[in-house]
Structure formats: C-alpha cells, structure tokens
Amino acid sequence: MRKIAIAVSLSIFIAFLIATAFLIHPFGYPPSEMDDYIIENTQSETGANNAVTAVVFDYRGFDTLGEATILFTAVTGVVMLFRAKKKREK
C-alpha cells in the first residue's frame, strides 16, 4: 500500500516536471525591465563594476542579511552540539 502511494505520487511529480520542461518560457522572454535597469544604473548608483555584488549587497541587502543570519544560526548550533558532546565524554 505504501509503495503504491509512493509510486503514484512520484509519477505525478515527474509528470509535472516533464510538463513544465515543455511549457517553460524561452530564455529572456517575457522581457523584464528590472535587469535592464540594473545593467544601466549599477555603475552610476553604487559605483561597483561587479553588478552581481551590487545586487547582493546593495539592491537586495535584506536577502544577504537573511543569509548571514542562517549561517550564524548554523554555526551556533554546530558549535553548541559538539561542545556539549566533548564535555560529556570527559
């Protein structure tokens, strides 16, 4: 019963993947105004030649803050876990 359920759900998932692969938009269409804006104005607004870094640290700074928070939480968890283990074994 469980194997049948897994098989059905997996086949539905793969059918969705294949359908999406055929229905996906072609590259660069529909044209977006945001990337043209960033390519035009990165150097004058942020002064950075690297547009990717300008997006990561300036236009989308909140995303980078979230990434930094995720890394901080991961490091805190790992250090806490292994430090507790070390003390108990002593």
Partner 1 sequence: MMSKIVRTMASLLILFALIYGLYIIMHGHLTPGGGFQGGAVFASGIALLIVAFGSDNIHKTLKEHHLSILESSGALIFIGLAFGGLAIVFFYNFLVGSPIFGHIPPSGPNPGDIWTAGVIPFMNIAVGLKVLAGLSAILLVMALATTLMEVEE
Indicate the residue among 37 and 72 with the shorter CB distance to partner 1: 72
Residue 53 has, within 13 A of its CA and on its CB side, a CA count of: 6
Of residues 32 and 43, the one with the C-beta less far from partner 1: 43
For residue 67, give the H/E element and its range. Answer: helix 61-89
> Which residue's CB is nearer to partner 1, number 12 or number 67?
67
Residue 66 Cβ vs partner 1, minimum distance, rounded to whole Å: 12
Interface residue list for partner 1 (CB under 8 A): 40, 43-50, 52-54, 56-58, 61-62, 64-65, 67-68, 71-72, 74-75, 78-79, 82-83, 85-86, 89
Nearest-5° Cα angle at 58, 57 to 64: 35
Cβ neighbour number for residue 54 with a 10 Å cutoff: 19
Q: What is the CA radius of gyration of the chain?
A: 23
How far apart (Å, rounded) are the C-alpha atoms in residues 1 and 60? 47
> Measured from the CB of residue 36, what is the shortest distance to partner 1 in angstroms?
14
CB of 67 to partner 1, least distance (A): 8
